[in-house]
Structure 1
Amino acid sequence: MSFMCQKDSYLREFSTKVKSCKPATTTILEDGKKTKVKGYEVILEDTILFPEGGGQPDDRGTVNDIPVLKITRSWEDAVHFLPSEIPEGTDVSLKVDWQRRFDHMQQHTAQHLITAIVDYKFGYETTSWNLGSDIVTIELGTPSFSASKVAEVEEAVNECIRKQIPVTPTLYPDKDDPELQKFRGLGLPADHVGSVRVVTIDGVDSALCCGTHISNLSHIQAIKILGTEKGKKDKTNLLVLAGNRLRRYAGNSFDREKQLAGILKGPAEKQSELAEKAVRGMKNYQKICNAQLKELAALEVSLFKKSDLKDTVFVKHRKDGDNDYISVLLSELGDENLPKLLTVGDEKEGGMFVVAGPAHLVSELGPRICELFEGKGAPNKANMFRGKASKLSNRAAAEKMMRDYISGAGDRSSPAARVEP
């Protein structure tokens, strides 16, 4: 298997012909969600659009200006999934999404280089890798990898970049060629057909690989190993950025640094210290606020109980309230037979609510008030219904519903459901 994108990864446009086109359904990832779409599987005589494989995601681009949504490999063919039909025998023009392609080339070649240097210096093999959309992870077959080793590898790979070492693909027509045994690689897929490609970084590494690569290490520009993280059992992940991703990361980091300097009122070298101080202050402030909120809840219940005008229902809303505030209200009120409607949160952003009282009131009004609040909830015991509300602006209507129910106006057919004061 060898496509034009593997022979010359720098080709951005290409002309070829449609071999076949048939209706199909596939699953694509849109905004992090898997979506089933209908379209056509188009196979071309050749392609500059890389099908996913070898740890590298597929390319994006167009065929006769029709967007390619997905590219997979089936034996010796690359299958392009398009939303529109292109009849068999049609001459077509291909264009590759060069920004995506070049990013993949930089990251993939950087992975080969790091893998080779780590193996040469420390004897740890790369067991898998993930190109991802942000940070590249390279899984090493070792339970730990020290900071000093990270620094040593980073210096070595960037020295190779400075030497402008060529990167060359070579095709071996026979996959059973014994010469292939001497090259690094995780092996060929079971359905591999045709020639085998070996990518060589001159004097550094030769490995079996189907992916797209740069032609010279200088095109990587630079590599930064951000650090390590614990991988699978007895494995360590290297976290890596290369080329344009590294440049974007540096720019974004500087922008965040400037923003934090304004928020924390201090230079970059003191931002961790200032942020820690701010967090401690906020936690202390929250403790004080929570304590005062509980005291306020107890006071509100006390005033309710001492009032000369005894109400048949307890209704309370507090924008800055929380679950603890509600719990204190319920605890201080005590009387399970007293109908209660408690709400906390912002009318625009939503919040929480509790309907409590006699079991028959809760079972009937709980779901109705929940619907009125356009919320979600359920009874957590016989005399209480808890939920989250997205429309607390309907509080007045919910209170009226409860008072009508108590007075009998809300359910004339069931006098037994009334709650006597």
Structure 2
Amino acid sequence: MTDPLYRTDAHARSTPATIVAVTAEGGLVAEPALFYPQGGGQPGDSGWLDWEGGTIPLATTIKAEDGASVMLPAEPTPLPPVGAPVTLRLDWDRRHSHMRVHTALHLLSVVIPLPVTGGQISAGKGRLDFDMPEAPQDIPALETALNALISRDLPVTTDWITDAELEANPGLVKTMSVKPPTGQGRVRLVRIGSADAQVDLQPCGGTHVARTAEIGRVAIGKIEKKGRQNRRVSLTLED
């Protein structure tokens, strides 16, 4: 399989593609893969597939055992056969909202430099759980610091390192509960900022904005206690 389009060009909204597999459960696999499959706290993409038999609404996308993106139709319908040319169209507003939230959560882990114990992304909002014995008292200060990072319009880029390089640099991994996938020989890193202006670098397979200003302004909600040392910090997009 070629590198998925959601990874090489997260801003691509549609693409011509070819059906390469139809699963026993009625899922569709196409190349190139435009739709992000659920994983890492980020929902699978939804949208539409156009072919000579009509338009198929796609409810979500999941990851197959071999890593392929499997698009799931919203309802039972005739499916295009293997080899059929199709056009894939994202529900762009939903995907872009996920991208903005996901990148904002990376910056939240900069403003709160503590180990991350979990996280979740949805359209317009997201949260991170931190290993945080005591909740910070000044939430407005955290919100101001987070929006200041966003407004710097820092570039968001990706790099790749080997499994061995990641093992030699465990500090790159911020999440305690979910470890980056290894065994493929390489791990994808998401970098925010560059050179002396770099503010974050961590393994991540999700979709992100191209520059932080694309996130827009965010608001931090109340900090919830979720265990003896676990605190949940939620944020929402304000526009």
Q: Is this a same-fold pair by TM over 0.5?
A: yes
Q: Which residue of 1 aligns with 2:180?
A: 188
CA shift for structure 1 position 45: 2.4
- The answer as to whether partners of 2:101 and 2:123 remain within 8 angstroms in 1 is no
Q: Which of the residues 151, 154, 174 maps onto 2:143?
A: 154
- The answer as to whether partners of 2:60 and 2:71 remain within 8 angstroms in 1 is yes
Q: Are the structure 2 counterparts of residues 185 and 146 from structure 1 closer, same or farther at C-alpha, using a change threshold of 3 Å? A: closer
The structure having more radius of gyration, on CA atoms, is 1
Q: Which of the residues 76, 86, 96 maps onto 1:92?
A: 86
Q: How does 1:301-380 map to 2 (within 5 A)?
A: none
CA shift for structure 1 position 90: 1.1
Q: Which residue of 2 aligns with 1:80?
A: 71
CA shift for structure 1 position 136: 2.1
Q: Are the structure 2 counterparts of residues 133 and 214 from structure 1 closer, same or farther at C-alpha, using a change threshold of 3 Å? A: closer
CA shift for structure 1 position 42: 1.4
Secondary structure in 2 aligned to 1:112? helix
Q: Give CA deviations for 1:180-219 in whole Å, capped at 9, x if unaligned.
A: 64523432247x6464221110110011111110010101
- Given the alignment of the two structures, is residue 106 of structure 1 paired with residue 100 of structure 2, yes or no? yes
Q: Which of the residues 42, 54, 57 maps onto 1:67?
A: 57
Q: Where do 4+ consecutive residues of structure 1 move more than 3 Å? A: 132-135, 174-182, 192-195
Q: How does 1:278-293 map to 2 (within 5 A)?
A: none
- Given the alignment of the two structures, is residue 165 of structure 1 paired with residue 157 of structure 2, yes or no? no
Q: Give CA deviations for 1:23-77 in whole Å, capped at 9, x if unaligned.
A: 31xxxxxxxxxxxxxxx12122221111001110011111223111221112321
Q: Which residue of 2 aligns with 1:219?
A: 214
Unaligned stretches of 5+ in structure 1?
25-39, 248-421
Q: Give CA deviations for 1:87-125 in whole Å, capped at 9, x if unaligned.
A: 111111111001100110111000000012211xxxx22
Q: Are the structure 2 counterparts of residues 15 and 165 from structure 1 closer, same or farther at C-alpha, using a change threshold of 3 Å? A: same
Distance 1:2 1:141 in 2: 35
Q: Which residue of 1 aligns with 2:6?
A: 5
The structure that is helix-richer by fraction is 1
Q: Are the structure 2 counterparts of residues 133 and 232 from structure 1 closer, same or farther at C-alpha, using a change threshold of 3 Å? A: farther
Q: Which residue of 2 aligns with 1:47?
A: 33
Q: Give CA deviations for 1:259-313 in whole Å, capped at 9, x if unaligned.
A: xxxxxxxxxxxxxxxxxxxxxxxxxxxxxxxxxxxxxxxxxxxxxxxxxxxxxxx
Secondary structure in 1 aligned to 2:141? helix
Greater relative contact order (Cα < 8 A, sep 6+) = 2
- The answer as to whether partners of 1:184 and 1:208 remain within 8 angstroms in 2 is yes
Q: How does 1:263-278 map to 2 (within 5 A)?
A: none
Unaligned stretches of 5+ in structure 2?
none
The structure that is strand-richer by fraction is 2
Secondary structure in 1 aligned to 2:189? strand
Distance 1:135 1:181 in 2: 29
The one-letter amino acid of 1:61's match is G
